[in-house]
Amino acid sequence: MPFISNINFTEGTLVKRSLETFFGIGPKVSQSIMARFHIQPWAKVGSLKASTLLDLTAELSNMKIENDLRREIQDSIIRLKDMGSYRGRRHAMGLPVRGQRTRTQIATARKLNRTLRGGDGRLGM
Amino acid sequence: MPPPTCLRSFSQLSLDSAARASMASRARAHAQMACFSTSAARYANPVSKKKGMAQTKKGNKTLNVKKGRNTVQDTGKRPAQGERKAARKRIVLTNDNALEVATLKDMTKADVLSEANQGRVLGIPEATVDALRAVEAFKTTQGWSLFRRPATLMRKETIELAKVMKAAEDDKKTLRRVLSGERLSGKSTLLLQGLSMAFVRQWIVINLPEAQDIINAHTEYAPLPDSQPTQYTQETYTASLLSQILKANNTAENPMLEKIKVTTSPALPLALPADATLKQLIELGIVNPEASWPVFVALWQELTQPGRPPIMLAVDGTAHMMKESDYLNAEVKPIHSFDLTIIRHFIDHLSGAKSLPNGGVILAATSQSNAPSTPALDFSVQVAEARQVDPSKTPRWNPYKNIDPRVMEALKDLHSPTAKEQLKPLDVIKVGGLSKDEARSIMEYYAESGMLRAKIDDGFVTEKWSLAGMGNIGELERASVRLRI
């Protein structure tokens, strides 16, 4: 079973898909990582050489992903809150931050806008 | 309770008795139900359910609109891995129900390239069929499964190609041909005929079965070290190409690759045994895909040594290689197909940048069913076709179309003015409709195979020829063999 950044993937998983399980890696970033290491878009994890897997792990260890990225987001929200800014307050109250109306349609804001945004830890595949 | 019941019963009885004396007993029972007390009904034994009722209820089908309930349990067996693809790609070359055609002759080494064959249907020898199968020359869409064994019509274009091959063989020339024509006009079949003629003449045949498979980014790629600008190798694809080359060119009756010894000293990443044959060289590349490209280069170098047989290099679906591939380089920009080593190798020979010292033919078949838009290729083909008709009237380039300068550069020989010589080095073979004689010949073959039950006379041939859009052979096959009304 191949490991990327200490996470175990089944051999049949697409490399693209396995990279995108990491918080902070989406379609664009995964495409650029794969292009850098010359991995074709439909490659599966099982077909990668051991050296390529190590390269990918090294690449991911240099990137701000997963908990580091979550912490950065949380830190910037806490900074807003500590300054006592309007945006910080709105985050703390779980309300829209950028001047949207609050009469209806604020479910997303209620779900996401909180000081500890993004939860904690890897949610799994 | 009895007093009121009895009283009422009697009074009822007295009323009814006159009218319905015969039904007195029934009336009494009825009167009991009509009285005010409910005790009798309450204390009565529960009525046993009728057997029939429950069963009818059970069998009734009711509309189930609830979500999330599996109404149908799928118990069918799932196809095994790869089974569906195998079924999709299966090539059937015989039909036991078709009749054997007694008059059918095979292609022979002596006369396969002769012009006397024009208009005849010739069978493909068994060994050649195996070799063609190995290089994936047969397509699933072609009608091989309708007849007893593979045979093809030597049409005008085939004879034209045979002449080209003869010239290449005799004068050790490198002649390049692009096959163009309408949909179903027989371009891929003409390519197959070219390959089979090459096999029969014991050439070395290298066929890229489908250009799309090379550029659609489904196989591994890696930059070629020390190449400027960077080229990209495809080790898995090259290894499978090598195994196709070995299987097709090293048959039991013509083990040509086993006989030829490696004479140059190729720079390979892996050690080659001393006094190795070409077969051993190729096997090295098949077993070690990471060495497949150096092995291919070494093989090509060996094949172009003096005294080796002519080479047939062919590709189908050319349009796919005349554009950018689906691979990305390290800067996340698409890689042009010409920067993939296999395609570059082909294009170098098609454009005339490299030639074959022992002679040979480069064939590039276009497709009308599966082709991306490639204005440069389309225009070049149009110019060459127009020039064959009237050299003074060639189409103008539409400036609003995007030109791919690399493709235009590779195909510039198609734009060059017609030389006076008989055979241009790069030209287009336009695969048009059959003549009526050719149509008659192939329809007689259909009839002798028992697949066309009709009397083949001039009227019938003309009818089908017209229905097929002036002798388009694919449509002719559809109209006469496949279509049963």
Q: Walk me through the domains of chain A, giving residue ranges and CATH numbers.
A: 3-61 (1.10.8.50), 66-112 (4.10.910.10)
The model carries a pTM of 0.83
The torsion defined by the Cα of B445, B450, B451 and B452, in degrees rounded to 10, comes to 70
pLDDT, residue B377, reads 95
Is B366 within the bounds of a domain?
A: yes
Is B319 within the bounds of a domain?
A: yes
List Cβ neighbours of A118 (8 Å cut-off, separation of 6 or more). A23, A69, A70, A73, A74
Strand partners, B259: none
Residues of A in contact with B222 (CB under 8 A): 38
The amino acid at residue B46 is P
CA angle B209, B212, B216 (to 5 degrees): 135
In this complex, the residue of B219, B223, B330 whose CB is nearest that of residue A40 is B219
CB B148 within 8 A of CB B95: yes
Give the separation between CA A122 and CA B7, rounded to whole angstroms: 87
Give the residue from B250, B345, B339, B248 showing the smallest Cα distance to B297: B345
Is B133 within the bounds of a domain?
A: yes
Better-predicted residue by pLDDT, A5 or A85? A85
The amino acid at residue A81 is K
Is B85 within the bounds of a domain?
A: no
pLDDT, residue B24, reads 46
Question: How close B245 gets to chain A, by Cα (Å)?
Answer: 25
Is B119 within the bounds of a domain?
A: no
Give the mutation candidate from A38, A39, A51 for the B interface (greatest B CB count, under 10 A).
A38
Same domain for B414 and B451, yes or no, is: no
A vs B, Cβ pairs < 8 A, gives 29
Tens digit of each residue's pLDDT (9 = 90 or more) over A106-124: 888 888 888 788 765 554 4
Same domain for B258 and B210, yes or no, is: yes
- Nearest residue of chain A to residue B328 (CA atoms): A35
Give the residue from B251, B241, B204 showing the smallest Cα distance to B358: B204
pLDDT, residue B419, reads 57
- Interchain proximity A35–B219, CB inside 8 Å: no
Structure tokens at B303: 């094949």
Q: Does B213 reach chain A within 8 Å, measured CB to CB?
A: no
- Nearest residue of chain B to residue A29 (CA atoms): B332
Give the mutation candidate from B216, B331, B332, B333 for the A interface (greatest A CB count, under 10 A).
B332
- The count of residues in chain B is 485
Give the separation between CA A41 and CA B219, rounded to whole angstroms: 9
Give the separation between CA B9 and CA B26, rounded to whole angstroms: 12
pLDDT, residue A124, reads 42
- Nearest residue of chain A to residue B325 (CA atoms): A40
Of B395, B416, B431, the position where a domain reaches its end is B431
Buried b (16+ CB within 10 A) or exposed e, B4-34: ebeebbeebeeebeeeeeeeeeebeeebeee
Give the separation between CA B32 and CA A67, rounded to whole angstroms: 85
Same domain for B445 and B426, yes or no, is: no
Describe chain A by its helix, strand, coil percentages, rounded to 5.
50, 5, 45
Give the separation between CA B126 and CA B109, rounded to whole angstroms: 13
Same domain for B414 and B467, yes or no, is: no
Tens digit of each residue's pLDDT (9 = 90 or more) over B266-299: 889 998 888 899 999 999 999 999 999 999 999 9
Question: Containing H/E element for A52?
Answer: helix A50-61
Is B384 within the bounds of a domain?
A: yes
Of B431, B446, B467, the position where a domain reaches its end is B431
- Interchain proximity A41–B326, CB inside 8 Å: yes
List Cβ neighbours of B167 (8 Å cut-off, separation of 6 or more). B173, B175, B423
Same domain for B369 and B269, yes or no, is: yes
In this complex, the residue of A32, A35, A40 whose CB is nearest that of residue B218 is A40
**Domain range spanning residue B443?**
436-482
ipTM entry: 0.84
Structure tokens at B14: 């007295």
Give the separation between CA B94 and CA B144, rounded to whole angstroms: 7
The stretch A86-90 carries a mean pLDDT of 91
- Nearest residue of chain B to residue A28 (CA atoms): B332
- Interchain proximity A42–B217, CB inside 8 Å: yes
Domain count, chain B: 2
- Interchain proximity B328–A31, CB inside 8 Å: yes
Q: Does B227 reach chain A within 8 Å, measured CB to CB?
A: no
Q: Does B331 reach chain A within 8 Å, measured CB to CB?
A: yes
Interface of A with B (CB under 8 A): 31-32, 34-36, 38, 40-43, 47
List Cβ neighbours of B85 (8 Å cut-off, separation of 6 or more). none
- Interchain proximity A32–B332, CB inside 8 Å: yes
Residues of B in contact with A15 (CB under 8 A): none
Q: Does B82 reach chain A within 8 Å, measured CB to CB?
A: no
pLDDT, residue B67, reads 64
Give the separation between CA B325 and CA B211, rounded to whole angstroms: 10
pLDDT, residue B381, reads 95
Measured in degrees and rounded to the nearest 5, phi and psi for residue A14 equal: -65, 145
Is B341 within the bounds of a domain?
A: yes
Same domain for B455 and B364, yes or no, is: no
Of B431, B456, B474, the position where a domain reaches its end is B431
Describe chain B by its helix, strand, coil percentages, rounded to 5.
45, 10, 40
CB B332 within 8 A of CB A32: yes
Is B257 within the bounds of a domain?
A: yes
Helix axes A27-36, A50-61, angle to 10 degrees: 130
Same domain for B420 and B458, yes or no, is: no
pLDDT lower than 50: segments of chain B: 1-3, 5-6, 9, 11, 13-15, 17-19, 21, 23-24, 27, 29, 31, 52-54
Same domain for B363 and B458, yes or no, is: no
Same domain for B215 and B352, yes or no, is: yes
Same domain for B311 and B451, yes or no, is: no
- Interchain proximity A38–B332, CB inside 8 Å: no
pLDDT, residue A6, reads 81
pLDDT, residue B54, reads 47
Same domain for B371 and B460, yes or no, is: no
Same domain for B423 and B443, yes or no, is: no
In this complex, the residue of A35, A42, A47 whose CB is nearest that of residue B328 is A35
Least confident of A31-45, A88-102, B292-306, B359-373: A88-102
Give the mutation candidate from B212, B213, B220, B230 for the A interface (greatest A CB count, under 10 A).
B220
